[in-house]
Chains A and B, each alone.
Chain A
């Protein structure tokens, strides 16, 4: 730092403390003697001794003297530095040496001073700090310079000079600007980077003094004096306690009246489904307007039960309802809200509700639920579930006890009556056939029609569900008595119905429509006599066009026909039943009526036919000229022939000659014959669970035969009420229940008790029985 010249011309200043740095710094305040101004009155008498610390740094001196007070020179000019000169201190810092030299020389250099300051900029942030500090710093310097103070005024002069210089700077600011600019453009500028001085933001002098410092003695003395004072205070006349009273003004009540603040409670409950509905309704509101013009909206999901209220005539009304519901669903549903928005006419609303499909479904569901309560123990028994007793009702318990008691006590097999399917529609009709649905084991189709030549009345087909034993799910009225039924296996909703007048119809049970899908009444080859049996057969090996299921029927006109239905039914004769027995040749036609048939469970080409002559023929569907085999044992019409589900060689036949015959297909004479009383056997069926068990229905009784136990007598005989003949028998494929249809239109469900299937292979058991019988015969 080229401050040497500065140090030589030191002004005389007051000295409080000595520091070398101060000497240097004091050079700043070297007055420019050429300019003499009057003493700034503001500065007289000010003492800055308190700031006598060695805080001043060299750089400070380079700052322009800034003071917070207003500075007015003798001429009355306001020489308070303007903010414009904030950069100046920084400038001065950097240009420290040059500035000083400038100050040294002449006024002109002083005039250069601001320009230099102007051009070299520095952080203007230091400005305000330095300015305010300068006041103290300069004062401190003033107080600290080691020289003897001779002239206070000189201090002030210095200040004044500086202020004047500032004023000069201010006034001459404009003039040297251009000159210097040109000069400096050519010359090289040297930048001196220097540190700013430490900026003190807070300076609280220490209250405590070091013991070793010079003031320590004085401070100690003062402290001691104070403690003595405190001691002497009490009881000392010098000190008198005095208290003051403040007056409290009289209080005054002031009232203010304002309007009552009405409070309204508002609450919203936000639930997960609420948000979900709002999301969906944003998109659905636009869709609903389209929806309302259509009738069928079953496909629209969930938020459109509004669709049920739609009526084409009332589209406007329904629209309003639609929008209502959609807004209502957005908030917690209030009935009142719906009430005020719905139109005033309530009658149509009532009608709409009562006609809605949903109500029908709900009613059906409710009916089933109610019935489930009523029939719960029976249904549980049917499904082989444990029967749960209701703890709340005592009466039930007693009834059940008596009911189950019988079953527990006896070990012999018996039929436990569960319930019966009957309603007023079916009363008085004769049950002719029953069949389970292939897909839904709870669905039962029952055909009602006369068996014999009675007054032909219209037939009825009822589809019963286990869940509702009091009313059928579907009712189809047919023109003539129903004699044969079968459900299709591939299309489980198709039910083929064979009638007394030879018509075959296929119904779709999914709907309640009374008209069948197809009817054979237009076919040229339709049966002219009652169709006694129908079967759907899966013809895998047929012609390409025949693949899939085919309906086969047997009728009293002596034909076994295969029906194909694409648009209308067409039939192809599989077999014509030619008369073998001369006794029957007196009939008009050359064909003998077929009463029943049964396809082989394993081979769908082989089937057995039972005829009215009493003969049973084994035929093949690929050969329609001749029988493969004939079995002659019955004297009277064969009502039923059925293969054993366990033994592929064995079949059973029943006839109106009071007998049931068990055959093996390779033997011309039956293996066993069963008879029990002189009663016509209407229907037989093998049990699907046990190979040696079959059921038979004859006049007035239901018999269950078990060949392991006895082949002479039925194991179980259940007499029906007098006058009522059981006419049809059906085993339930999944549970151990037997359904018996009778001539009064009732289908009774019985549970087989205490007939066990037994171990070992079923087929072997039956074969053993047969073998033993055969061996015993020879």
Chain B
């Protein structure tokens, strides 16, 4: 448990990281460094996208599984580590 908190803190402290969110299976953020409305927005949108991405991966090969999703945009990069029970989201601006 402490290890998890430590790692989360370290990730947050990295260069350029804007926020980290851990979302449970219902879409409710359980650990977040951003404000609530932003967290909920990210959680909802990324959940849908992750579902779609997972569906795409598994449609091609049902034995495959989505392990990581990265969305690189102009301003920042959103990284999602999906799982059946949770979503781990980190938003980073690598150019800072």
Contact = CB atoms under 8 A, between A and B. Distances in A.
Nearest to A471: B10
A356 B22 CA distance: 13
Nearest to A354: B4
A335 B4 contact: no
A230 interface: no
B40 to A, nearest CB: 12
B92 interface: yes
A359 B58 contact: no
Contacts of A247: none
Contacts of A358: 83
A338 interface: yes
A166 interface: no
B26 to A, nearest CB: 5
Contact of B85 (A272, A356, A393, A470): A356
Interface of B: 1, 3-4, 7-8, 10-11, 14-17, 20, 22, 24-28, 30-31, 47, 51, 55, 58-60, 62-63, 65, 67-68, 70, 74-75, 77, 79, 81, 83-86, 88, 90, 92, 94-96
Contacts of A374: 14-16, 92, 94
A365 B81 contact: yes
Contact of B90 (A351, A370, A392): A370
A272 B59 contact: yes
Nearest to A361: B81
Nearest to A275: B62
Chain A interface residue bracket vs B: 35 or more
15 contacts: A272-B60, A273-B59, A277-B62, A339-B26, A342-B26, A355-B4, A358-B83, A363-B4, A366-B20, A367-B10, A369-B70, A369-B90, A370-B11, A396-B95, A470-B10
Interface in A736-776: none
Contact of A363 (B63, B88, B94): B88
A373 B27 contact: no
A523 interface: no
A474 to B, nearest CB: 13
A395 B84 contact: no
A278 to B, nearest CB: 11
Given A370-B17, A370-B92, A364 B84 contact: no
A470 B13 CA distance: 10
Contacts of A346: 24, 28
Interface string A347-359: 0011111111011
A351 B3 CA distance: 13
A618 interface: no
A353 B22 contact: yes
A306 B24 contact: no
A360 B90 contact: no
A373 B84 contact: no
